[in-house]
Amino acid sequence: MVSSTVVELSRWQFAITAIFHMTFPALTVGLSVLLAVVYTVYVRTGNPLYLQIFRFWRKIFAVGFGLGVVAGTVMTFEFGLNWGIYAHAVGPVVGVTIGMEVITAFFLEAGFIGLMLYGDGRIRPRTMALASWMVAIGTLLSTTWILSANSWMQDPVGYRKADGQFQAEDWISILFNPAFAHRFPHMLLAVLISAAWFVGGISAWYLVKNRVNAQPMARRCLSIALGVLGVLMPVQLYVGDGTAVFMGGHQPAKLQAFEGNWESDNNGYNLLVVPDTDRGENAFHVGIPYLGSVIAQDLSGETKTPGLLQTPPDERPDMWATFYGFRAMYFTALIMFGTAFAGLVLRMRRRLFDSPRFLRWMVWMTPAGIIAITGGWITAEAGRQPWVVYGQLRTADAVSHLNTFEVAGSLAGFVLLYGALLAIWARYIVRTVKAGPEAPPTGPATPDVSEALVA
């Protein structure tokens, strides 16, 4: 039997590599769509502003995409490296889905990214627009397949178990499993929204700093970002609510954990909890009375939120991760909604580009989408534990026969490397943003001071 240390270390390793990987698609999927749209507009209208926008965001997209690709390569092999038993059991289902992702989506992105990044002067603008769209379609398709594979693990259907393997019986129901119907739109909106915050935040920074060269681009991008957010945020809250209700029905333990109750006697809504897992109670909690009942659509305040004690002890997820992952996602989402709404009001009042306080707030919101996505995935994955395939295969039974030294060593390697990579990436973004967009030849008479930073 594999020692529990190996299981724990492998879980940490997977969690860290997955979160790190997720940071990049969270930006690049949305950015690729933005790039494709602005380049198409450039081809159609000939307005050089859109070319400037394209070239500027392409710089940030390129490095993010490259890092996303290599971090994704790690994920592909990690299934077999640390989770050999799992890989053998679900290969016929999840392996095939991810295989389809690689051949239809990954190759599409990777095949056209070279043209998109280095094609200037070699291919015609129309071909460039086509390449940009292919990259965008590739990233969207990739999201679709991955969500299908992951949702199947959340709510497995359409299979038969034989010889310890899951064998596919009905591919349609496997690919379009019930959880996919809720989680895919949720995730698709999430990646678009998080890229919009990123673009909007950086554009707001240019406006706050009053960078003359960047003003038209920054206003244009801020307008696009806030428009996207104004439309998508309400939908996202609605879809997210549907996902939570669905999960509450299919994985009761997850709902019990992310609402932060042990006993099923609370009609309030918990804002903060300090769970004591051994004793099965909260050492401390702050809540709003009656709100839990209201959220459960009972205005009389009688409805109680189910607690984690309803689930047998060996099937309980960790309340810390699930509860705070959910809170990180949900509270950020509310703030995002409020900000998008405020942006819309300012726009209607013609004050959008002249509201320093709002713009400064937008700069702070730059990473909001990434934080929410990370929190959401922590809820989804930690809340599914102790199962890796919900109700069918336990995480502890899925680990390869490795010794502690190997897993600990590789975990340390990944932590160090990823820490350094995040720092390098953040520094690169800061530098690129400070350097600003490419200036047109007959730009403003006053040269931009920070132009000197361009290496």
Partner 1 sequence: MLEYVSYALVLFSLAMYVVLDGYDLGVGMLSLAARPERRRQYSEIVATAWDANESWIILAGVVLWAGLPGAYAVVLPSVYLPLIVMLISIILRGLGLEMQSAAGGYRRGWALLFGGASLATTLCQGLILGTVLTGPAQRDGTFQGAAFGWFSLYSVLCALGLVAVHLLAGAAWLQDKTEGWSRSGARRTGRFLLLVTAAMAVVLGLTLRSADPQQFHLGQPTRAVFFWLAVAGAAGACAVAWHAFGRRPDWRPFAAVAALIVCGLLGLVAVSVPVVVPPALTVHQAASPHSSELFLVLGVGLSMPFVLAYNIYAWQSFRGKYTAPVESPLPPLRDRAQPPTASHERTGTPRTIMRRTLLIVLGTAAVGVSQDVFGGVADWIDPIGVAVLCCTALAAWITGDRRDERAGYFDATTGAETRS
Report the nearest approach of partner 1 to the CB of residue 414 (Å): 8
The widest CA-to-CA distance across the chain, in whole angstroms, is: 75
- Among 19, 41, 43, 62, interactor with partner 1 by CB under 8 A: 62
Contacts of 167 (CB under 8 A, 6+ apart): 92, 93, 159, 160, 161
- 168: helix, coil or strand? strand
Asked if 74 touches partner 1 (CB under 8 A), the answer is yes
Asked if 424 touches partner 1 (CB under 8 A), the answer is yes
Asked if 220 touches partner 1 (CB under 8 A), the answer is yes
Handedness of CA 28, 145, 329, 382 (dihedral sign): negative
Residue 387: left if φ>0, alpha if ψ -120 to 50, beta else—which one? beta
DSSP-assigned letter for residue 6 = H
Q: Which residues 134-193 are close enough to bind partner 1 by CB under 8 A?
A: 134, 162, 165, 167-169, 171
Asked if 294 touches partner 1 (CB under 8 A), the answer is yes
- Among 15, 19, 63, 141, interactor with partner 1 by CB under 8 A: 63
Closest of 113, 33, 24 to residue 74, by C-alpha: 24
- Among 219, 285, 394, 434, interactor with partner 1 by CB under 8 A: 219
Tokens of 64: 């993010």
- Among 237, 309, 363, 415, interactor with partner 1 by CB under 8 A: 237
Report the nearest approach of partner 1 to the CB of residue 107 (Å): 5
Q: How many residues bind partner 1 (CB under 8 A)?
A: 124
Asked if 357 touches partner 1 (CB under 8 A), the answer is no
State which residue, 19 or 237, has the beta carbon closest to partner 1. 237
- Among 320, 331, 353, 361, interactor with partner 1 by CB under 8 A: 353
Asked if 120 touches partner 1 (CB under 8 A), the answer is yes
- Among 284, 350, 449, 452, interactor with partner 1 by CB under 8 A: 350
Closest of 338, 262, 269 to residue 303, by C-alpha: 269
Residue 447's φ and ψ, nearest 5 degrees, are: -70, 145
Q: How far from 312 is each of 104, 131, 248, 252, 392, CA to CA, in Å?
A: 42, 52, 16, 12, 16
- Among 8, 281, 298, 318, interactor with partner 1 by CB under 8 A: 298
Cβ pair 206, 217 in contact under 8 A: yes
- Among 8, 41, 66, 248, interactor with partner 1 by CB under 8 A: 66
Query: Interface with partner 1 by CB under 8 A: which range of 218-226, 253-261, 311-319, 369-377?
Result: 218-226
Size (the chain), residues: 455
Q: Is residue 166 within a helix (H) or strand (E), and if so which, with residue range? A: strand 165-168
- 361: helix, coil or strand? helix
- Among 4, 77, 272, 426, interactor with partner 1 by CB under 8 A: 77
- Among 24, 30, 36, 109, interactor with partner 1 by CB under 8 A: 109
How many Cα neighbours within 13 Å face the side chain of 142? Answer: 25
Asked if 304 touches partner 1 (CB under 8 A), the answer is no
Asked if 210 touches partner 1 (CB under 8 A), the answer is yes
Query: Interface with partner 1 by CB under 8 A: which range of 27-35, 279-287, 361-369, 409-417?
Result: 409-417
- Among 8, 16, 84, 250, interactor with partner 1 by CB under 8 A: 84
Tokens of 104: 């239809």
Cβ pair 275, 323 in contact under 8 A: yes
Q: Which residues 248-287 are close enough to bind partner 1 by CB under 8 A?
A: none
Asked if 363 touches partner 1 (CB under 8 A), the answer is no
Report the nearest approach of partner 1 to the CB of residue 216 (Å): 5
Cβ pair 404, 5 in contact under 8 A: yes
Asked if 443 touches partner 1 (CB under 8 A), the answer is yes
Helix axes 4-45, 48-81, angle to 10 degrees: 160
State which residue, 70 or 274, has the beta carbon closest to partner 1. 70
Asked if 356 touches partner 1 (CB under 8 A), the answer is no
Calculate Rg over the CA atoms of the chain.
23
Residue 401's φ and ψ, nearest 5 degrees, are: -85, 85
Query: Interface with partner 1 by CB under 8 A: which range of 23-31, 180-188, 271-279, 396-404?
Result: 396-404
Start-to-end Cα distance in the chain: 55
| Window 1-40: contact mask with partner 1 (x via CB under 8 A) | ----------------------------------------
State which residue, 162 or 452, has the beta carbon closest to partner 1. 162
- 184: helix, coil or strand? helix
